[in-house]
Structure 1
């Protein structure tokens, strides 16, 4: 309890040595500086890392500083999109006269460039580590909504420690993440949701799902990228999921929803808790059940009625204002038979924010940062409500790295698997789709060989696709079940053997270069599933385009059909926005 000077006097050491010793006892780190100017002259843009038992080199930013949480190491489901958001938030803070402090520990992103923020801490995004920085810098507050799920998960521990959350409060965030609270909110607003429940044990799951119809979609709460999300078709699969994939508990409840087949729609909006600006609406080509990050998204929507669009706009404003969102909000809907249901709400930036910002010319992160700092939305010069769509079409298509990720199952489902995306933009839907499909490497030359093998439930729908391929001059190769069905409808096909059968089978055809594209949907049963997996893996490793979604196949066929004589203009996105 003695003053440092007194301890130093009696111990015959310096005051600095006393301070360092106290830090060691309290297990507080010191922060060392990485000199970005190599000692040639004073570094005005250094970054810091923590260590123990060393002299502290931090120069706190002091009054008027704000901390931005990054998204941490890039992984599937959370990547460069959130780095984009962190960078633009840092720049927006500087424009607003604030000093930006970024905490992120990813060496491969722009947010960790030395000149992006006023201070950079290369620290893990854990409660203990970020609190050490906050105690050192003493900022006005922290922004959690631009670093994906990693950053938003820090909102609750920060609020409990008395740190000011700038933008959407911890209360707003919890209202979206807590299933029971969100269901209650939707009930109060009169917004329909798919039937579902929240469970904390296997026994509770069996009891509550007795009233639901299979298939069900199950996922853990507080995750990003659909991690560990799965569609189950009976009680046995549900029980197996809850025992092997995810262990339900009070701290980590599992969400279970009735799986609905419909058209998924995604909206990113800016809200100040009173007004809402919706730069645009995206509809997904793949039907529900495929993660939004793996779906082809279209702006503006091509298949939604004006009534549905009005409902989507109203629901977005109602939800954002009821949750008192201040900044960005992402809402995912499903449209079934003209009726709109809300699937989930994320009071943070989503991976589609950079896409929407670029194609609409509205820098969503900058405006959201200004709103988070306290500026009303109506003073920012943005239109309120839904912004009228542009006179061009933009399409976001996923890109995968399956050839570099050995043993990974490539079939698309509720868990995100794409590692990037491309954008096609054109004056028509066909032109934008053509550019996106070409960039995603899904195009095959005219007259190519297409191998089709699909499940029994998909054969009638696939038959229409097969006719389209034949009409365009493509040669179809099928396994016995699919081929026999097509032949019964008068569709000409070449039938070959399955992988496990001897002779001219699928594997030999693929490896001999006789196949240019594979269309395969999932059948259930251990032998059939293994065959499908082997077929898809061989195709991927041979760099043969492999499609597992009939919706994607339909759009690829549409592109192939529209390429004859079509002119496609190459133009910079900035020129489209200017037009």
Structure 2
């Protein structure tokens, strides 16, 4: 099925796609949940996992769920066919695979915990041993987006700008990278959650101190040029297995780059981009998701220079994320539900939007209102934690408000906290 120019091909009838036919033998699906609620992984993954289970069940599939958190909707009686309250780790997942013998596994609906577990299962040969197929985005594509060195190399190969950076496996390499780039520098961890181990170093001493924390959280860090003060823009993009792509929503962080998106007020749609900026970033988002061959939903984060049209792609999440839940609620586009259907081989034009029940899933939502997400911090429970907003997430929840204007939505969000 050849994709046309723009968002993709005109679509197919149900069951016509080759991927759909190929996946007809998949009857039992193992879904990895995110586990315990924690900073960086909370109710948004319960939401996405629940939607995925409903989508799989609608297709007559048997769903096995692994999630040790009993206080979630997805573990409720009657939703999944079987629920294991076990840790989402390779050792426990292997036992369940051996017992249940699933045909396929879904990794994209349990956040970073599920992705990391899926990568380890693939690397250890467990998935191959039990002939378990990965639904949606391949483990190889996931690895390319999570491994910082591979991620930068892949984007440079297609002419997409990324921050000047060096992937480092130890503190010595990090200090050498700091000298080459010039201070200040930003530190990011690979395979990390909620910005853990990230930060800004103004000099060599601060970088050395930051490395002590960063390498505890991640086996690899990225030392990159400081873009503090640039706008932080996010796009939610969807792609099916036939190369049809759409952008569902774009969002703008009120705080500039340098503040974790989970710590910032986020507005959808963006308020300060002109049409040229919007279309430029949209085209790049489609180019990136196609290059990585992501099937399902993807979150792409940009840094955009407010004084020019210079940009950098700073992160690609090949999974449902916190921003995905916000985009779903803000636009009425059920991202997790659609992503689950796409993982089973459907094409975007085949699917109806379950919310509107009129448009197809390849229609890009258009908003005539503004959605504002505001984070909430618990300063009483975490008394000895810094109350400064940084590149590491500390908020424990968030609210979302809708309004005809940004001012109206912001006022509503403040009063809801």
TM-score normalised over the length of structure 1: 0.63
C-alpha contact 1:299 1:395 (8 A) present in aligned 2: yes
- Counterpart among 88, 101, 104 of residue 138 in structure 1: 101
Give secondary structure in 2 for the equivalent of 1:287: coil
Structure 1 residues 427 and 246, CA gap change in structure 2 (3 angstroms): closer
Query: Could you say which residue in structure 2 is the equivalent of 1:25?
Result: none
Which one is further off, 160-169 or 79-88? 160-169
Query: Could you say which residue in structure 1 is the equivalent of 2:9?
Result: none
Tell me, in whole angstroms, the C-alpha distance in 2 between the residues paired with 1:212 and 1:63.
49
> What is the correspondence of 1:400-419 to structure 2 with a 5 Å cutoff?
400-419=377-396
Tell me, in whole angstroms, the C-alpha distance in 1 between the residues paired with 2:169 and 2:26.
45
Tell me, in whole angstroms, the C-alpha distance in 2 between the residues paired with 1:68 and 1:248.
28
Aligned-pair CA distance for 1:303: 0.1
Query: Could you say which residue in structure 1 is the equivalent of 2:323?
Result: 352
- Counterpart among 124, 147, 164 of residue 178 in structure 1: 147
Aligned-pair CA distance for 1:113: 1.3
RMSD: 1.8
Query: Could you say which residue in structure 2 is the equivalent of 1:297?
Result: 266
> What is the correspondence of 1:206-225 to structure 2 with a 5 Å cutoff?
206-225=175-194
- Counterpart among 75, 87, 90 of residue 112 in structure 1: 75
Cα deviations by residue, 1:153-189 (Å, 9 ceiling, x for unpaired): 1222332221311110101101101122211211122
Cα deviations by residue, 1:100-152 (Å, 9 ceiling, x for unpaired): 11100012111121222111111111111111111111111100001000000
Q: Which runs of 4+ in 1 moved over 6 A?
A: none
Aligned-pair CA distance for 1:419: 0.6
Tell me, in whole angstroms, the C-alpha distance in 2 between the residues paired with 1:229 and 1:213.
17
Query: Could you say which residue in structure 2 is the equivalent of 1:252?
Result: 219
C-alpha contact 1:248 1:254 (8 A) present in aligned 2: no
C-alpha contact 1:272 1:324 (8 A) present in aligned 2: no
Which one is further off, 167-176 or 428-437? 428-437
Tell me, in whole angstroms, the C-alpha distance in 2 between the residues paired with 1:364 and 1:83.
13
Query: Could you say which residue in structure 1 is the equivalent of 2:336?
Result: 365
- Counterpart among 77, 88, 108 of residue 40 in structure 2: 77
- Counterpart among 389, 400, 416 of residue 423 in structure 1: 400
Query: Could you say which residue in structure 1 is the equivalent of 2:355?
Result: none
Structure 1 residues 215 and 384, CA gap change in structure 2 (3 angstroms): farther
C-alpha contact 2:348 2:361 (8 A) present in aligned 1: no
Query: Could you say which residue in structure 1 is the equivalent of 2:20?
Result: none
Given the alignment of the two structures, is residue 323 of structure 1 paired with residue 286 of structure 2, yes or no?
no
Tell me, in whole angstroms, the C-alpha distance in 2 between the residues paired with 1:269 and 1:179.
21
- Counterpart among 129, 138, 149 of residue 169 in structure 1: 138
Unaligned runs of at least 5 residues, structure 2:
1-24, 353-359
Query: Could you say which residue in structure 2 is the equivalent of 1:267?
Result: 235
Query: Could you say which residue in structure 2 is the equivalent of 1:436?
Result: 413
Aligned-pair CA distance for 1:211: 2.1
Aligned-pair CA distance for 1:277: 2.0
Largest Rg, 1 or 2: 1
The structure with higher relative contact order (CA 8 Å, sep 6+) is: 2
